[in-house]
Amino acid sequence: MDNSTILVIDVGNTNSECGIFQGNKLIDSWRFVTKTPRTSDEYAVVFRGFLKDAKLKPKNISDVIISSVVPNIMHSLVNAVKKLFRIKPIIVAPGIKTGLDIKLADPSEVGSDRIIDAVAALEKADGNIIVCDFGTATTFDYIDDKGAMAAKVTCPGMQISADALFSNAAQLPNVEIVELDSIIAKDTVSSIQAGVFYGYLGLTEQIIKQLKKEVGNNKTKVIATGGYGRMISRASDLIDEYDPMLSLNGLKLIYDKNKDLKKKNRPDL
């Protein structure tokens, strides 16, 4: 049985998440803000703090895998991993083994975040899946009955939509996005919250319905993830499952497909 301790890092546009697997068990996870500029030494301090919480030391980490949709932080992040763990990380990029067939016009355009979500979703079902990721952007990816990514839809995320309203309407306040029990609003703050929440709920459900209609399978399983996915999932009967750890599990699955190749061709430092 493999009891290696693996650090997985998913770099998103707004927030990043990292997790530690011992064998196939996720033992801890953390989030940090992506947009804060950091040197490699600062990233090392962040990781040391996470490890301390997990009662681990850098030498306990056997390997590292990174998925990133933010290229301009990768130099500092990769150098931090090399310095702290003495490991050359695996990067989810074109050419890496994922086991995912991508039937789109240009597979190289598919972000690594969507790939790791899809790989994890395929562990839950053999195919006919819609994966909804509610992050900086909200994405909907359809995986067909043969396990191939066959369609993708991309929308502005909830926070981006709300920020556009606040920045372009001088008299409207910036309010917190919250889950509501009623659309009946009687003041400015709750009216904005109702518009954002129920508007986005409607967007989500219409896209899911249209995807199911056009792929001709109304029994398609819908899996959601991402920060705002929890509140939308609770409000929608069209979402079958919410998994906040989908991306981390996808990274571990991809790591398992590439670890032997790394030992052969990409030795640690």
Task: Give first-to-last CA distance, the chain, whole Å.
Answer: 26
Please state which of the ranges 4-13, 104-113, 256-265 shows the lowest mean pLDDT. 256-265
- Of the pLDDT bands very low, low, confident and very high (cuts 50, 70, 90), residue 268 is low
Fold of 5-93+249-265: Nucleotidyltransferase; domain 5 (3.30.420)
Distance between CA atoms of 140 and 226, rounded to whole angstroms? 12
- Of the pLDDT bands very low, low, confident and very high (cuts 50, 70, 90), residue 72 is very high
Instruction: Examine the pLDDT at 91 and tell me if it is beyond 90.
Output: yes
Catalytic residue among 113, 117, 141, 243: 113
| 163 has catalytic annotation | no
Residue 158 has a pLDDT of 93
- Of the pLDDT bands very low, low, confident and very high (cuts 50, 70, 90), residue 218 is confident
Measured between alpha carbons, how far is residue 37 from residues 83, 160, 228 in Å? 18, 21, 24
**Do the domains 125-242 and 5-93+249-265 match in fold?**
yes
Sheet of 63-68: strand order equals 25-33, 15-22, 5-11, 63-68, 90-91
To the nearest whole number, what is the mean pLDDT of the chain? 93
Residue pair 110/153 in contact (Cβ under 8 Å)? The answer is no
Q: Where are the domains of the chain?
A: 5-93+249-265, 125-242
pLDDT digits (tens, 9 = 90+) for 18-63: 999 999 999 999 999 997 789 999 999 999 999 999 999 999 999 9
pLDDT more than 90, % of the chain: 84
List CB contacts of 141: < 8 A, sequence separation 6 or more: 114, 117, 118, 130, 131, 133, 149, 151, 152, 153
CATH superfamily placement of domain 125-242: ATPase, nucleotide binding domain (3.30.420.40)
Distance between CA atoms of 81 and 7, rounded to whole angstroms? 10
